[in-house]
Amino acid sequence: MITKYNNYRNWSEYENTLAHLNDLTGITIYLLSSDGHIEGIISENDMALQLYIASYNRLKKTIQDACFEYPAFLSEEHGASYFSIRMSHGTLLCGPVVHLKIKESSYIDQFEQSELSVAEKLRYIDSYAHTPVIDYKHFIELAVMLNNLINKQNISLNSLVRHKRLFNLKENTKSFSLSGDRSTQSQFPFEFRNTVIDAMRTGDSLVLTNALKQLKSWRVDLVSRYPLKSSKLSFAAFAGLIMSESVNAGLDGNLAMRLCEYYVDWADRARNIEEIYGTFIKMLYDYTDRFYKQRKQQLSKLSAEFEKYVYSKANERISLTEAAETLNVSPQYLCKKVKEDFGVSPNKIIHKIKTKEAKRILKAREMPLSEIWLHLGYCDQSHFNKVFKKYTGITPSEYLQKS
């Protein structure tokens, strides 16, 4: 069904193409002027206009972010996604879609638990029957195909990835209470995304573990009357965000997309919330391991030699000046290259390797706890304890008790 408004004639040459796209996918297509006013809607949803009006403030940035070469994407915490395409006389906005099948009762509950305005909640709920299910990869491919067709471009999915034009999550959403004192709009910790991404991109599982310990009081239940389906929908939104920001952080785009599809599919088969939570944790550690392996492959010879040097000197006090002299470079250049390759300073590399060695000694019980700090070249036990806890989240004595 095509609804025409003022200046619809600007879109007449694309009418058949867009109508055919709507027939094939069921996706709602908004035809917008350059300032965001609606000039036409192609949709079977009678509430499409009201949904756009109610959601405009949340969609505005996505509409503005589209450029003539690349589409723009938005993934909302409640699970709905959009893309927009800039044209010479306006913008196409396509959506909403969701990325997992979900029953109407669960869909309604997902929005009732959200912090959207009442008008937005009602419009999304009213639009349930006309919200198509399209997985992430096909949704992105659809945007690329339509952009190429309309704007006579020849961009590929890989170029979209390289230019970091994938999903963005809205920044102005309210965070939720980790204590579980009140209901929240999401079962996944969206406000921790920067902490999680920063931890993952180090490629160090210890850093990720410490980041996740911030979520120790985070509850995954009691936030919904239909917690399983709502959690699956939220997981899909979070997985898309992790995929996008992992690509932005330098992970191979095709690999990130395959991981996203794999874990969304895995979560969709979960029989309870605990399985979804387990999938969430496994996904984060998998991404972290991929970052580690990719970083290993990309390390410069200098950084690889520095890492090897630190391992060989793990039981000594390591001087950055002496390390640079051994490697025939200046300390400043060594710091620059290590930071470029590892994403952290040389001192952090030293502490992480010494901590790893300390864990090995503690687990093997090779020497008394009181002697380890001296063996690893620390100036005193207090400093060693502080470093160990920073990288493991617990003290050496606590680690010894657990091992």
Residues in the chain: 403
- The four Cα atoms 154, 247, 285, 168 give a dihedral, to 10 degrees, of -100
Answer yes or no: pTM beyond 0.75: no
∠ CA 150-140-84, nearest 5°, is: 50
**pLDDT reported for residue 68:** 81
Question: Is the C-alpha dihedral spanning 387, 390, 395, 396 positive or negative?
Answer: negative
Tokens 């000046």 locate to: 321
* Phi and psi angles of residue 255, each rounded to the nearest 5 degrees, phi first: -65, -45
Q: Quick one: fold of 299-402?
A: Arc Repressor Mutant, subunit A (1.10.10)
Q: Which residue has the tokens 């297509």?
A: 29
- 170-202 in b/e burial notation, b at 16+ Cβ within 10 A? eeebeebebeeeeebbbbbbbebeebbbebbbb
* pLDDT confidence of residue 27: 95
- CATH code 1.10.10.60 region(s) in the chain: 299-402
117 and 111 Cβ atoms separated by less than 8 Å: no
pLDDT tens, the chain, 403 aa long: 888 888 888 898 889 889 999 999 999 999 999 888 999 999 999 999 999 999 898 898 888 888 888 898 887 767 788 999 998 889 999 999 988 777 777 677 767 666 778 888 888 888 888 899 888 778 888 898 898 888 888 887 767 766 667 665 444 333 333 233 333 334 455 556 677 778 888 888 877 887 777 655 444 443 445 567 767 777 877 788 788 888 877 888 888 888 988 888 888 888 887 788 888 889 999 999 998 888 777 678 888 899 899 999 999 999 999 999 999 999 999 998 888 888 788 999 999 899 989 999 998 888 898 899 999 999 889 999 999 988 888 899 998 888 7
Residue 372 near residue 396, CB atoms below 8 Å: yes
Q: Is 61 exposed, middle or buried (0-12, 13-18, 19+ CB in 10 A)?
A: middle
Beta bridge partners of 82: 74
CB 215 within 8 A of CB 192: yes
299 vs 16: CA distance, rounded Å: 51
- Classify strands 38-42 and 2-4 as parallel, antiparallel or unpaired: antiparallel
| Tokens matching residue 375 | 């063996």
Query: Please, what sign has the CA dihedral across residues 246, 252, 258, 263?
Result: negative
Sheet containing strand 81-87, edge to edge, reads: 2-4, 38-42, 29-32, 90-97, 81-87, 72-75
What pLDDT, on a 0 to 100 scale, did the predictor assign at position 226? 57
Q: Which residues sit opposite 2 in a β-bridge?
A: 42
Positive or negative, the CA dihedral 256, 174, 27, 6 is: negative
110 touches 242 (CB < 8 A): no
Tokens of 380: 């005193």
End-to-end alpha-carbon separation of the chain, Å? 65
